[in-house]
Amino acid sequence: MKAHTRETQATMTPEKSLQYLKEGNQRFQDNLKAHRNLLEQVNDTSSGQFPFATILSCIDSRVSAELVFDQGLGDVFSIRIAGNFVNQDILGSMEFGCKLAGTKLIVVLGHTSCGAIKGACDNARLGNLTAMLNKIKPAVNAISEPKDPSLRNSSNLEFVDNVAAKNVALTIERIRHESEVLSTMEENGEIMIVGAMYNINDGGVTFLN
């Protein structure tokens, strides 16, 4: 499989880009990864890059966007931060990826059993981690069930995963609210912004939108 070029990027629509990722994840689950000559892709992308998607995911070592979507060099912009939330710098990176570099799709990718989500659920405190986890707390507070405080922590994996999915939804809301560039592009049909959850148990990605 060849690296994307300016010409192939131009043929990508938001819908086609999403389908590419869905097909790639199915290949990943089936262990039938597309054949790529990565060194050839290094050469092909040495004079420019033409990715079709921008993916915001967690730093979790099990959730590499390029691997779980079976993509090669030059295919996607990968933004990674614990808890896959946004701030001004990440929004700027997304604006670069879409407005200037031509990607047609933004994916906010959460995952099951997320350590950052668990930390926010447990109200963890540790150096700079404290301020970071506070950015995830709105998702914790937005999940009303269970009401029993003893069940609203990292030992309840169903609660953790519900918070993770809510965190994805709230992150998308923030992208639309805090980036006029991206919200306008979405309104004009130039890009799509979608959420997804990766299951660390089977390698599957479920799209939430």
- The pLDDT tens digits of the residues spanning 11-33 come to 999 999 999 999 999 999 999 99
- Which residues are CB-contacts of 173 (< 8 A; sequence separation ≥ 6)? none
CA distance 198 to 171: 16
| 60 carries a ligand binding annotation | yes
| 58 carries a ligand binding annotation | yes
Q: In the chain, what percentage of residues exceed pLDDT 90?
A: 92
pTM: 0.95
Q: What structural domains and CATH numbers belong to the chain?
A: 6-113+171-207 (3.40.1050.10)
pLDDT of 2 = 86
| 111 carries a ligand binding annotation | yes
CA distance 103 to 50: 8
CA distance 99 to 15: 17
- The pLDDT tens digits of the residues spanning 45-80 come to 998 999 999 999 999 999 999 999 999 999 999 999
- The pLDDT tens digits of the residues spanning 86-108 come to 999 999 999 999 999 999 999 99
Host H or E run for residue 121: helix 115-121
- The pLDDT tens digits of the residues spanning 146-160 come to 999 999 999 999 999
Please, what is the Cα angle at 94 between 4 and 194, to 5 degrees? 85
Both structure tokens of 176: 């639309």
User: For tokens 């990826």, what's the residue?
Assistant: 97
